[in-house]
């Protein structure tokens, strides 16, 4: 099994470097790929901030990855819940933090009341205000 870095995952979608994009495509076509949640977090940020992609486009890309044979996601239950909340308007990092804590059965605490509200509404997770 291999775990690609953010730059490999981004090249797969953006295809702005023909050589690297072809190598990334080949890597994913071989299968047995594990996408780490830290790579997903960084990829969302890069795709949004550097390339200006819309939330719907990023969510669709991540969803397609998750449904592709030979590709696994770290903490898949949390990741899938976070993706649904992200598509509905919650920040991806916040959604992944809260969903991961919930799947690990630990309380997630924050000073951010908006995060707590969205986590309850979109994830069904009780986030504690610190």
Same domain, 109 and 59: no
In a domain, 63, yes or no: yes
In a domain, 103, yes or no: yes
Same domain, 8 and 63: yes
Residue 51 belongs to domain spanning? 1-74
pTM for the full model?
A: 0.90
Same domain, 37 and 100: no
What average pLDDT does the segment 51-55 reach?
96
Q: Which domain CATH number covers 49?
A: 3.40.50.1010
Please identify, among 32, 47, 74, the residue that sits at the C-terminal boundary of a domain.
74
Report d(CA 127, CA 66) in Å as an integer.
26
Report d(CA 119, CA 26) in Å as an integer.
37
Same domain, 67 and 102: no
Contact 47, 10 (CB under 8 A): yes
Same domain, 52 and 114: no
Task: Report residue 77 CA to chain centroid gap.
Answer: 12
User: Per residue in 84-124, pLDDT tens?
Assistant: 999 999 999 999 999 999 999 999 999 999 999 999 999 99
Count of domains for the chain: 2
In a domain, 106, yes or no: yes
Retrieve residue 15's tokens. 């295809």
Same domain, 5 and 69: yes
User: Measured in Å, how far apart are the chain's first and last C-alpha atoms?
Assistant: 39
Contact 97, 112 (CB under 8 A): no
Contact 84, 52 (CB under 8 A): no
Mean confidence (pLDDT) of the chain: 94
């Amino acid at each position: 099994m291999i775990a690609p870095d953010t730059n490999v995952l981004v090249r797969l979608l953006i295809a702005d470097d023909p050589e690297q994009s072809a190598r990334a495509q080949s890597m994913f076509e071989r299968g047995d790929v594990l996408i780490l949640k830290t790579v997903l977090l960084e990829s969302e940020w890069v795709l949004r901030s550097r390339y200006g992609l819309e939330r719907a486009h990023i969510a669709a890309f991540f969803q397609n990855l998750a449904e592709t044979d030979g590709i696994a996601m770290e903490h898949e239950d949390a990741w899938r819940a976070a993706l649904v909340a992200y598509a509905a308007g919650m920040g991806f990092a916040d959604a992944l933090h809260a969903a991961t804590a919930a799947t690990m059965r630990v309380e997630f605490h924050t000073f951010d009341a908006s995060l707590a509200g969205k986590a309850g509404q979109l994830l069904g997770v009780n986030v504690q205000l610190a």
